[in-house]
Amino acid sequence: MTTKKHACPTYPHFLHGADYNPEQWIHDKSIWDKDMELMQLANCNEMTVGIFSWAKLEPQEGQFDFSFLDEIIDRVGKNGGKVILSTPSGARPHWLADKYPEVLRVGPDGVREHFRERHNHCFTSPVYREKVQIINRKLAERYGQNPTVVAWHISNEYSGDCRCPLCQQAFRDFLRKKYDNDINKLNLAYWTTFWSKTFDSFDQIEPPGKYTETGLHGLNLDWRRFVTAQTMSFIENETAPIRELSPHLPVTINMMFEFYDLNYHEVSKVIDIASWDSYPEWHNGDDADIAQKTAFWHDLYRSLKKRPFLLMESTPSLVNWKPYNKPKRPGLDVLSSIQAVAHGSDSVQYFQWRKSRGSSEKFHGAVVGHDGTGETRVFRSVQKTGEVLKAIDQIAGTVTDAKAAVIFDWENMWALDNCQGYALAGKKYWETCYAFHKVFWQRGIDCDIVSPKADLSGYQIVAAPMLYLTDEETVENLTSFVENGGTLCGTYMLGTVDGTDLCWLGGIPAGKLKDVFGITAEEIDTLYPVERQHAQLFGKEHELVDYCEVIHPSSAQVLASYTDGYYAGTPAVTINSYGKGQAVYIACRDTGSMKDDLFDHLLGNIGLAGNLADSSLPHGVTAHSRTNGETSYLFLENYDPASTADVTLKQPMTDLLTGETVHHVTLPPYSFRIFKS
Ligand code: GAL
């Protein structure tokens, strides 16, 4: 039986489109005519509209004018395209802020913002919630059953927080509920006896900010949890009329790269499909590294809902907000779009369709430039991507069956940031997670990025780098994964603090994990940036940086030992059998070579091979797969700008673009091939 899980079941094809802001050109409808012509020429079949249109749609309170949206949705539909319709809450009209200043956000310094910029409203304000519901209901009533509309794009890039009196009150209510209205429970969880911080009542609690308490780690964590919960409640408020009036349309929010503010593992529970905005800094260093980091986030967004996601925004050429803004080189432009599809996206979408004439994004890349033609290099590369997507349409909706996963956790990241220990600056949590993901990417092994609470039963191997915050639920989850036959790789700092950021007592890693890994950890040597230590694994010496933890095996077998430092001769990597599985403890941070040798050993041991015949791929080359349960699709990508690579497939496969059947493949720089078996 075939399995397909289309991101938009309402349109079971690849979407190829862009953020489209035609209201910026409402004074010249000849531009709209040209847009329709160029969309067809660019092989685009989708436009995302209405993102920042509130001032046009409701120019004064209660006065609605949908004429521009009526016309645009109609035009796109007649042109053969589909629309993802946005709710406009990401930027509000002037009248709303003037009449109801409570909708404006209060910053960490306690100062309320003026009307300016975007993405800066209060998430608690009842007035804002009400006004958003009114406009969203109108949109859903008018377009919810329109066949051109295939999904809802809710607001834009939710982020940040507000510290107004309403948010403070909501935060206190959140804490009252969490701590059973018992202030002493909270005092204990936050360890407030330290420096006489004891709270007498919930009313004394303020959000961490510029002039308020930031030294209580449990409080800092709870604030981030509250902001996540409050954003989710805002999203639910936004989507209520939409879900009521158009229950068949999937709902998404566009998420971001290396995003800090919200726990997306939680937020994804209130949306139907994950989508994200991807803006890698290509050509700044090794493109293979940049591709792999980008792949990490594609993998994360696919893993959030365990189904295809949407690449909601990407630039067709360059951005305008980095210190240096460089256009994508020929080849890499199409390759970087296809990369998202290789990792499970059902779309390639750009920001934006037509370059703005004024304001801050007038030099941001767009499909159509200020020349207004389809005769640019960028336009032609978009056309080419569209051709590819049409040719491989059978892949839309297929899934990724990953047997490897890396655990990445927002709460852990926040706790590591709180942590005044080890190296104060740069614990490098993201980089460490990337380094473990790289092990799989480099070998052409599909890999999910999951929460520590995720169902791990489908994986053969899971890496849990720097999982410093390990609450009881996580301890149970990791333990049962190993008990049931999984291979778990933990590292230094595992199981150090609990869910409220209190240190675990009785030795680390926390509780049962000492038995699972068969070790206890005693202390960590933090290395100065120039310092290097070494460990020997399978007879070879490897370089270590940043962290060397001193551990004591109880039942674990030693795989690698330190060769210098006061801990020379003690274990650096161990392996322990537990239940039907095994737990590997990596006590130190290496520069890559030790991990390579270790994972070659482990992957061989558990029989997990990559998508190609050989697991050692040329530099910059990777291989990813999608499947419908019967047919497998293989994406080969080469991110090396200069070297042509030769690779061998596991068996002869048919190239979906050329129709030829091949076994050995030559991949020129910045190229890709897509096969079917
Ligand atoms: C995104 C945002 C878009 C646009 C784009 C420019 O973060 O959602 O509206 O500003 O960046 O790169």
Tens digit of pLDDT for each residue in 582-602?
Answer: 999 999 999 999 999 999 999
- pLDDT value of position 458: 97
**Active site includes 375?**
no
Mutate to test the pocket of ligand 1, among 361, 362, 363, 367 (most ligand atoms within 8 A of CB): 361
pLDDT band at 520 (very low <50, low <70, confident <90, very high): very high
Type of residue found at 394: Q
Q: Please report the pLDDT score of residue 379 as a whole number.
A: 98
Residue 252: DSSP 8-state: E
pLDDT tens profile 111-152: 999 999 999 999 999 999 999 999 999 999 999 999 999 999
Mutate to test the pocket of ligand 1, among 351, 363, 364 (most ligand atoms within 8 A of CB): 351
Could you write out the DSSP letters of every residue in 298-356? HHHHHHHHTS-BEEEEE-SS--SSSSS--PPPTTHHHHHHHHHHHTTBSEEEES-SB--
Q: Is the CB of 279 under 6 A from ligand 1?
A: yes
Q: Kindly state if the Cβ of 351 falls inside 6 Å of ligand 1.
A: yes
- Three-class SS state of 447: strand
- Does ligand 1 lie within 6 Å of residue 349's CB atom? no
End-to-end Cα separation, the chain, in angstroms: 16
Ligand 1 contact, 56 CB (< 6 A): no
Is residue 312 scored above 80 in pLDDT?
yes
614 pLDDT above the threshold of 80: yes
Query: Which pLDDT does position 558 carry in this prediction?
Result: 98
Cis previous bond, 349, omega within 30: no
Average pLDDT score, the chain: 97
Of the residues 157, 238, 411, 637, which is catalytic? Answer: 157
Given the CA of residue 51, which atom of ligand 1 is nearest to it?
A: 9
Rg of the chain over all Cα atoms, to the nearest angstrom: 26
Residue 363 has pLDDT above 80, yes or no: yes
Bridge partners, residue 60, by sequence: 63
For 71-96, what is each residue's pLDDT tens digit? 999 999 999 999 999 999 999 999 99
What percent of the chain stands above pLDDT 90?
Answer: 99
- Mean per-residue pLDDT, 162-184: 98
Residue nearest to atom 12 of ligand 1 (CA): 319
Contacts of 176 (CB under 8 A, 6+ apart): 202
The answer to whether 522 touches 493, Cβ cutoff 8 Å, is no
pLDDT digits (tens, 9 = 90+) for 239-294: 999 999 999 999 999 999 999 999 999 999 999 999 999 999 999 999 999 999 99
Residue 531's pLDDT is what? 96
Probe target for ligand 1 pocket from 154, 275, 277, with the most ligand atoms within 8 Å of CB: 277
Q: Is the pLDDT of residue 425 over 90?
A: no
Output the residue whose Cα is nearest ligand 1's atom 5.
Answer: 351
Ligand 1 within 6 A of 319 CB?
yes
- Average pLDDT for 661-675: 98
Contact 549, 561 (CB under 8 A): no
Question: How many CB atoms within 10 Å of residue 407?
Answer: 27
Query: With 80 as the cut, is the pLDDT of residue 426 above it?
Result: no
Tell me how far the alpha carbon of residue 351 lies from the centroid of ligand 1, in angstroms.
7
Q: Compute the distance from residue 49 Cα to the ligand 1 centre, in Å.
A: 14
CB atoms within 10 A of CB 369: 16
pLDDT at 245: 98
Nearest to 7 by CA among 650, 659, 626: 626
Quick one: which atom of ligand 1 is closest to the CA of 254? 8
pLDDT level of residue 3 (50, 70, 90 thresholds): confident
Share above pLDDT 70 across residues of the chain, in percent, rounded to a whole number: 100
- Beta-sheet strands, E only, within 94-224: 149-153
pLDDT at 365 over 90: yes
Q: 46, 238, 313, 637: which is the annotated catalytic residue?
A: 313
Neighbours of 540 (CB within 10 A): 11
> E-strand spans in 554-608?
557-562, 571-578, 581-586, 588-590
Alpha carbons 619 and 251: distance in angstroms, whole number? 39
276 lines ligand 1 (CB under 6 A): no
**Ligand 1, atom 3: nearest CA belongs to which residue?**
351
* 71 tagged catalytic: no
Tell me, what's the pLDDT at 2? Answer: 80
User: Ligand 1: which atom is nearest the Cα of residue 320?
Assistant: 12
Residue in the block written with tokens 């001769």 = 569
What distance in angstroms lies between residue 336's CA and the mean position of ligand 1's atoms? Answer: 18
Average the pLDDT over 194-221 and give the result: 97
